[in-house]
Amino acid sequence: MSLNAERSYKMKLRDVENAFKYRRIPYPKRSVELIALLAISCTFFLFMHTNKLNSRLKEMEVKLQPSEFSALGLTGNHISGHDAGKHDDINTLHGTYQYLKSTGQLDSLRSERLNNTRHSQLDVVFFNRNAKVGSEALMELTQTMAPHNNLTVLTKGPLNINSRTRSPPEQMVQALWINELDSGTIYIEHCNWLNFHRYQLPRPIYINLVRDPVERMISWYYYVRSGYRNAIHHRRFPNTTIKSEKWFKKSYNDCVRSGDPECQYVPGSVKEAEGNYKRQTLFFCGHNRECLPFDSQRAIQLAKINVERDYAVVGTWEETNITLTVLEAYIPRFFKGVRDIFEMNSKSIRNRNRNNRKPRIDPDVREMVRRNFTNEYEFYYFCKQRLYKQYLALQLENNLS
């Protein structure tokens, strides 16, 4: 092949290669529009599906994160700006949930592990009711509920004494008396925790309530000055000296600021100038001498041990719905239907022993008092967090089922 012929052949070959390489295949105009429409449709479908899935995930997260507001049947739309700041506080339901979740403890929550009802050997509820915590309301609720669940409610024990602290012989008498109660009895009285194991007796189902320590003191201060309380007190103890008019009219703000002995809560003290039930932990610690000093770390630890080991439920009337939910689930024999019964009778129950004389307490006075209740607050928050764990365990199990 000559040189010109070879060059001509290579040029033709290159032209053929270029024709294949840069060829354009014509498509109908309608096909192009169809492809574009399909692409847009797919994109829109994926967007809507992803958005729907994201909403569903958020709904599931809300169900698994019951806040103190959803516990009351409220949604996020009902949460005010004032309340929104509570969510990060570990001493709220939402805060407890977040803490358990962040520390990996949420997955291990089981209601049966948190329920001491299974450890009791008596079919008797012992409500050794704490003072000024809403115990009157819960007592009336149990009396209203009794016919529905075939219960007997007793509000008076075997001892005719005013002190909640008993001597060893008195403790034995009370423990033996409780041991003889009929199945299905709820025994309610102001008294300290009893050690049934000490007398080798079967243990009842313990329940109680707690309340913010400073709020308890304010409530007690005005309660002892109420006409209702004094009429009952003087009927029981007719020889008691009647207080002066000045004492009845004294405000809590002035009492604290002036250094009045009645409003001085001295850590380590055993006796008060006026009876004030300031040691909330004494109801849970017992009759041991180590339980007597006010705001004692030792008394707090003993009270915590007794709660963790013996109490089925320690609720708070500040969280009524949560408390009743846990009572109904953890002690169903006695508290079946308690929430419905409460709803039907809530007005009369809430007004039981209600003290309407509650003047405004200044913030600095609250803070002055609070500083002396360091360990009492530790115990109060311990009981609330335990209640929240019990409630969360129920909610998680319900969601899983």
- Residues marked active site are found at 190
Give the whole-angstrom CA distance, residue 259 versus residue 268: 17
Kindly give, in sequence order, each residue whose CB lies less than 8 Å from that of residue 135, ignoring residues fewer than 6 positions away.
Answer: 127, 129, 188, 209
Q: Are 152 and 185 in contact, with CB atoms under 8 Å apart? A: yes
Q: Are 253 and 162 in contact, with CB atoms under 8 Å apart? A: no
Q: Are 353 and 340 in contact, with CB atoms under 8 Å apart? A: no
Give the whole-angstrom CA distance, residue 61 versus residue 136: 37
Give the whole-angstrom CA distance, residue 386 versus residue 392: 10
b/e string for 95-127 if b means 16 or more Cβ within 10 A? bbbbbbeeeeebeebebeebbbbeebebebbbb
Torsion sign, CA atoms 54, 57, 59, 61: negative
How many alpha carbons fall within 13 Å on the CB side of residue 381? Answer: 12
334 closest CA partner among 195, 183, 209, 202: 183
